[in-house]
Amino acid sequence: MTLRRSVVLGHGSYLPARVMTNDDLTRMVDTSDEWIYQRTGIRRRHIAADGEFTSDLAVAAARKALASAGKEIADVDLIIVATTTPDQTFPATAVAVQAKLGMQHGAAFDIQAVCSGFIYALATADGMIKSGMARRVLVIGAETFSRILDWTDRTTCVLFGDGAGAVLLGVSDEEQTLDDRGILTTHIRSDGTHRDKLNTTGGPSSTGTVGVVHMEGREVFKYAVGMITDVIDDAFRSTGLSAGEIDWFVPHQANVRIIDATARKLDIPSEKVVRTVEDHGNTSAASIPLALATAADDGRIKKGDLVLLEAMGGGFTWGSVLLRW
Ligand code: ACO
């Protein structure tokens, strides 16, 4: 029986310098700050500069995660990048990140689970650490979603933004209780029968093009809260912990209405919910580590706090992680 547990050693995030407000969008499509804010809670998003790639955002966040952990790249044996907007169709963005960080040992690969990518990446890293395959893993969510938006489609282009966040996971070999730090449980789900509700209009094998984001917003909304709360219930069932014991709820930052409806259904009080979507929109796989870094840096999330993460996105994919920070 393994006693190993993955522990968060450090965190970091990065947002590109250029800010696009809702008012800026009114000059591009027929929309308003009021419409966008009321339906989504978004006020602004960041847009990567020309020549600034997903791997650059990922590297900036990864460097901060290493610095906050007091570690060097030599201490890392695996890099996982969750992204839907890779620099190239291949190779993986993770190997670009590996090269840019000056790492030639270990391994690096991407995970594609759209907005649930960071949860999938954490679950994968946790499994590899528990099995002894890796001891220090940089888990990164990074996106340049602005590159796959149709900037004439007001139903999608107002929702998304660019950014990156990262955590460095290490291993604890001690015997553990639920009061000790680290990842307590991970749960991932998918159901591909919903894959046409949120997707891109192309791909290398189908059209030979990248495509742009297409979404049936009401359909996504209809399924989101139920799927998210189901997989959170799985986390509670497998640990015996309950919503009342959560210190911080850090959901995927897609839309405040989905976040608030989920928190209400779980009876998590509003003051325990981390919301950062207002400042960066939906950054897909980057949104959870961006929110985590914000709340850890401003002193809300402290060592030993019980933190609940969740996401739902294209596929559909969804998942939850329960951890002690
Ligand atoms: N500005 C102004 N009007 C708009 C805009 C816009 N940006 N976009 C759509 N509208 C119009 C529509 O054309 C429609 O007009 P009509 O009634 O004349 O036909 C009207 O607003 C209502 O459109 P709906 O799509 O029904 O608007 P709804 O209230 O459902 O809100 C939204 C749309 C915000 C996308 C909502 O469905 C939603 O939150 N869905 C969840 C999807 C989501 O968050 N996805 C993120 C990615 S998935 C994930 O991360 C979980």
- In DSSP terms, 323 is beta-bridged to 183, 307
Q: Is 217 in the pocket of ligand 1 (CB under 6 A)?
A: yes
Q: How far apart are CA 83 and CA 103, in angstroms?
A: 20
Contact 260, 296 (CB under 8 A): no
Residues in CB range of 80: below 8 A, 6 or more apart: 94, 108, 109, 110, 111, 121, 124, 125, 137, 138, 139, 140
pTM of the predicted structure, to 2 decimals: 0.97
Crossing angle between the packed helical segments 117-131 and 287-297, to the nearest 10 degrees: 80
Integer Rg of the chain from CA:
18
Q: Is 225 in the pocket of ligand 1 (CB under 6 A)?
A: no
Contact 66, 136 (CB under 8 A): no
Nearest CA to ligand 1 atom 2: 31
Determine the residue of 35, 149, 155, 284 to mutate for testing ligand 1's pocket, defined as the one with the most ligand atoms within 8 A of the Cβ atom. Answer: 155
Closest CA to 58 of 89, 13, 22: 13
Question: Would you say residue 174 has pLDDT above 60?
Answer: yes
Report which ligand 1 atom has the smallest distance to the Cα of 218: 37
Q: Residue 257 Cα, ligand 1 centroid: separation in angstroms?
A: 12
Q: Is 218 in the pocket of ligand 1 (CB under 6 A)?
A: yes
Q: Is 40 in the pocket of ligand 1 (CB under 6 A)?
A: yes
Among residues of the chain, what percentage have pLDDT more than 90? 97
Predicted confidence band of residue 2 (pLDDT cuts 50, 70, 90): low
Taking the domain 182-324, which CATH number applies?
3.40.47.10
Residues with catalytic function:
115, 252, 282
Q: What is the DSSP string of 123-169?
A: HHHHHHHHHTS-SSEEEEEEEEGGGG--TT-HHHHTTB-EEEEEEEE
Q: Is 255 in the pocket of ligand 1 (CB under 6 A)?
A: yes
Give the residue range(s) of CATH 3.40.47.10 domains in the chain: 5-172, 182-324
Contact 14, 97 (CB under 8 A): no
Cα within 13 Å of Cα(165), Cβ side: 25
Residue range 108-164, pLDDT digits in tens: 999 999 999 999 999 999 999 999 999 999 999 999 999 999 999 999 999 999 999
pLDDT computed for residue 203 by the predictor = 98
Closest CA to 47 of 21, 86, 23, 12: 21
Element (H, E) at 309: strand 306-313
Report which ligand 1 atom has the smallest distance to the Cα of 252: 50
pLDDT computed for residue 186 by the predictor = 98
Q: Residue 217 Cα, ligand 1 centroid: separation in angstroms?
A: 6
Closest CA to 239 of 173, 289, 306: 306
Report which ligand 1 atom has the smallest distance to the Cα of 287: 50
Residues in CB range of 91: below 8 A, 6 or more apart: none
Q: Residue 266 Cα, ligand 1 centroid: separation in angstroms?
A: 25
The CATH number of 5-172, from 3.30.479.20, 2.40.30.10, 3.40.47.10, 3.90.1570.10, is 3.40.47.10
Residue range 33-42, pLDDT digits in tens: 999 999 999 9
Residue range 192-202, pLDDT digits in tens: 999 999 999 99
Predicted confidence band of residue 175 (pLDDT cuts 50, 70, 90): confident
Cα within 13 Å of Cα(44), Cβ side: 10
